[in-house]
Amino acid sequence: MSSNPTDAFVGTRPVSATHAFDVDALAAWLAGNVAGFAGPLTVEMFKGGQSNPTYKLVTPGRTYVMRAKPGPVAKLLPSAHAIEREFAVMKGLAGTAVPVAHMHALCEDEAVIGRAFYIMEFVEGRVLWDQSLPGMRAAERGALYDEMNRVIAALHTVDFKAQGLEHYGKSGNYFERQIGRWSKQYLASVTQPIAEMDRLIEWLPAHMPASARTDLTSIVHGDFRLDNLIFHPTEPRVLAVLDWELSTLGHPLADF
């Protein structure tokens, strides 16, 4: 057993029975919907990113990534696992200053492999799972943080209407909506009463600061951190922002 805690997230593993699907059916769909696809196809699972299972698709000529909803046996909360939204926002951000992987295709027909999924390019680079950045000098860390700041600032200044994302989120106060959303998610999944949570759900809406009540709106990522970025193999440069599951239109300060 490895003593490195990040090993649980790095690399791939065989597809588990819970997340298995008909690989031949997927290959047939890819052949008809992804330009240039040519098998044979082999499939593995990435160890990380399992809220929506993420697969590495390898062919002799190219490598792809598939993000899918959990398998048919999973109990999905309303509005959760909306991979269609992930696909839409990354496709919409193509060509902007925000680096994202190229989107190949979206499949919402669950008859293909038993769940909805999308296909994107595989981006080769570094995912920095250990937030302490061991072995890096202060200047190297600073360069990475500067790049993160550049990328998040670029995201918050994207003209989302010009990119066709004006309907990507609701209008109105973002923080109020978030408190309401996560309160509903909690209540939908609770298994036993927790008095402290009930008090928190009641307390939060009544104590939002004035600065949180403005209607300033941008695209927000919702989970912007080191391990949701792919960096260049040797340079402090972000090649792709990952895991857009919590993204929406909202107040830019929500990303900090």
Shared domain check, 117 and 146: no
CATH number where 185 lies: 3.90.1200.10
β-partners of residue 46 are 12
CB burial of residue 146 (10 Å; 0-12, 13-18, 19+): exposed
Domain ranges, residue 191 = 138-255
Is there a domain that residue 206 lies in?
Answer: yes
Provide the residue count of the chain: 256
SS3 sequence of 6-54? HHHCCCEECCCHHHCCCHHHHHHHHHHHCCCCCCCCEEEEECCCCCCCE
Asked whether residue 19 falls in the same domain as residue 90, the answer is yes
d(Cα 245, Cα 90) in Å, to the nearest integer? 11
Task: Give the domain-ending residue among 65, 89, 121.
Answer: 121
Residue 130 inside a domain? The answer is no
User: Considering the entire predicted model, what is its pTM?
Assistant: 0.84
The number of distinct structural domains making up the chain is 2
Is there a domain that residue 132 lies in?
Answer: no
Output the tens digit of pLDDT for each of the chain's 256 residues.
455 656 666 788 899 888 899 999 999 999 999 999 999 999 999 986 567 899 999 999 999 999 999 866 555 555 556 899 999 999 999 999 999 999 999 999 999 999 999 999 999 999 999 999 999 999 999 999 999 999 999 999 999 999 999 999 987 788 888 899 899 999 999 999 999 999 999 999 999 887 776 778 999 999 999 999 999 999 999 999 999 999 999 999 889 8
